[in-house]
Structure 1
Amino acid sequence: MMESLAYFHFLRPVWLLMLLLIAALWFWSRADVKGEATMQTKGIAPHLQRALQVGGEAGTTFRPLDAVFLIAGLLTLGVAGPSWTRAANPLLANSAPLVVALKVTPSMLTGDLAPSRLERAQFKLQDFLEQRAGARTAVVAYAGSAHRVSPLTEDANILRPLLDSLSPEIMPVEGADASAALTLAQDVLSTADTPGAILFLLDDFDPADVAVFSQERGAARPPVIFLVAASTAVSLPQLERIPNAEVIRLTTDDTDLNRIERRLDAVYVSAMAGDERLRWQDRGWWLAWPAALLTLAWFRRGWTMRWVILASLMFGISTPTTARAEGWIDWFLTPDQQGQLAYNDLEFSTAGALFTDPYWRGYAKFRAGEYEEAAQVFGRITTPEAALGQGLALIRNREYRPAIAAFETALERRADYPQAQHNLAVAQAILDFVETTREQSDTGEDSGIGADDIVFDNEEGRGADSAVVVPEGDSTPLTGAQWLSMIDTDMGDFLRGRFLLDNARVGN
């Protein structure tokens, strides 16, 4: 919240001039009251004046008219449009992207944090992924070399088996090269649409790497958060010398995760504030609540202002409203505000039904998995961002040709649109793969080959199929358990092989 207040300003500052008029009228009313009190007490002895006065000195009590001026001031500030945050882009995640660099070395197997430092870090990271549901996260593992475990993804289910498989045995090079992990994490973040941050989970840090973390590579280095997975007996003072970094100790509760989330929120707010394409959020409606509470004072005995109540009723009757009368909440919140509350609670389907803003409606339906409805909503908007959203929804719905057309429409509306260009290339690659696979997936049914036949592709025969019939003698079909036992599901072997290939490419 404190980071947001750095961007505080008024959207319509000209309305602040009304405060001068309100203040002048208030001073005039106060002076008039004092003048009347002086006229009424002239010629009365001072000791009798004090005895006859009720409520202290004249002009010091809070009067109904003072409440009117205070309410007018609050409403004027609200009309002026106070703002300190940008309206979120519904086509982007509402949190900063994060790259997690996990140290995977023998020292992380130490048991000062039960069951071990590495397992505690993995457990903590999985909890954090659940807390960041819907936010983009990538994972990098490092020892003597750094390797990308996964790209930026919103699906935590993809990351869990990969995290569980990380161990020092699969790392191809011994050591603890944090600078290599930083370089790789920055490369991953460079593909994101918005600035992000880097989270290091480690138990030790080589002081020689401080210089690398302190220097900037071209653009400003992303903020770095160090989550120390070691007992309090382990001291890492070298981390305090790194600029634009925060050091957090791993805790048994969610205190550490909450601190990380606040830091990421600050990064996200700063990134949104610098995006001139986004409009500022008007927070003036917040001031309506204290103004409404002050009106309750008018129901005190002697404070009733029937003319104000009558005017309010007439104004409420004559003002049209677009809010749907589906309950008492419609008296206080607009459909978009209700939709935002449902969206924040991850009730995307409900939010999609509540939103009237087309961008938020389409994005909520997209997050709810209602891709066809989301594509229809985005298709009714004539902006490049909407065409991009339509293409993303269509590609999730496996409608690749319409998705390509949507991305091409986005590029027609904005020629320099890297997100549309990237997704167009992805959609075309997927379509080519699907069509090629479909052409090569002749099952041989037309040639009389049965379901129990084994078909091999004969490259020398230019695609001619060769069939080998499985003998039906005493052969017994494999059970489901036997099939599963034949499938290699060891993600550790997969990651070890991929890391070795990474090192081989670097060596070449």
Structure 2
Amino acid sequence: MYQLEEPTYFYYLLIIPAMLVLFIGVLWWKKRKQKQFASVDLFKKLSPESSTFKSILKFGVLSFSIALLVIALVNPKMGTKLQTVKREGVDIVFALDVSKSMLAEDIAPSRLDKAKQIITKIIDNLGSDRVGIIVYAGNSYPLLPITTDHAAAKMFLQNANPDMVSSQGTAINEAISRSITFFDDNEQTNRYLFVVSDGEDHGESALSAVEKATKEGIKVYTIGVGTEKGGPIPIKDNGTIVRYKKDNKGEVVITKLNPKILSEIADTGKGKYIDGNKTQKAIDYIKNLLLKANKTEFDAKQFSDYKSQFEWFVAFGLLFLLFDTFLLEKKTKWIQKLNLFNQTKN
């Protein structure tokens, strides 16, 4: 495991493409001036030691040394030891609806994107809490097992989309049942399940699944995204809407938020329905909820003893810089003397 102490210094790498443009410009200018001075054959006779390859090699070595020195400024650190530490927190699982109805844009930028924004901001406000993610549509899929790595959770979350689930529909009951297996039975932490959905097509089977979850000590909260007025489901090609989804009669399908069933799920799960359209209000409510929750101590494995590795990059950067200094822009005599192809001199 590694860390980057100052990743903003990576912007200095932009020096290299700027140098490349300048190098190509100078090389073109030299060739142009040489043609004005003499023909190519004559110039080779006048300057037999000139080497374009050596100029390119010299530029490459210089660029590589600059890249190494920039990485040294970033100061990568390597975790040298994996140890178990004691942490306090609660266990949280997000069940994210990725059915086609979540692509509706009745709430900007879309229901699915709004759901991702809400989950991401909740994760940003977490302390030592563990988090897991499940995506579901016609069936459920474990996107990320429960972990303390919040950065990984956000990264996996951004990749969630309807194509991840093999069949369409809304198998909330399967997602809730799968969430039960996410929690560690050996550690009696406070357990929260947040179902983020538009509530469409959630049947009675969802309530029976919620009842099983509550028996396992899981509190179920629902977060609704979308409007009750609803909107069509866009079908896009390269980000551009080409048409809207239609039913068997050829009419455009209008998908609507169903707060009633989401409220029933939350009430059965001893939780609460939260209006996700009021983003900040929803995040503040969940933040306060988790802050007030009783924290349980649990074991978490993490890398420790991070050691700076910049010295290696400085050393090799200076070495290549020194090599570039002594690298001349003319042909290497000892290579010419090898006469690898047994050429005869006139």
TM-score (norm 2): 0.49
Structure with the larger strand share: 2
Structure with the larger helix share: 1
TM-score (norm 1): 0.34
Q: Which has the higher contact order (CA 8 A, sep 6+)?
A: 2
Report which of the two structures shows the higher radius of gyration computed on alpha carbons.
1
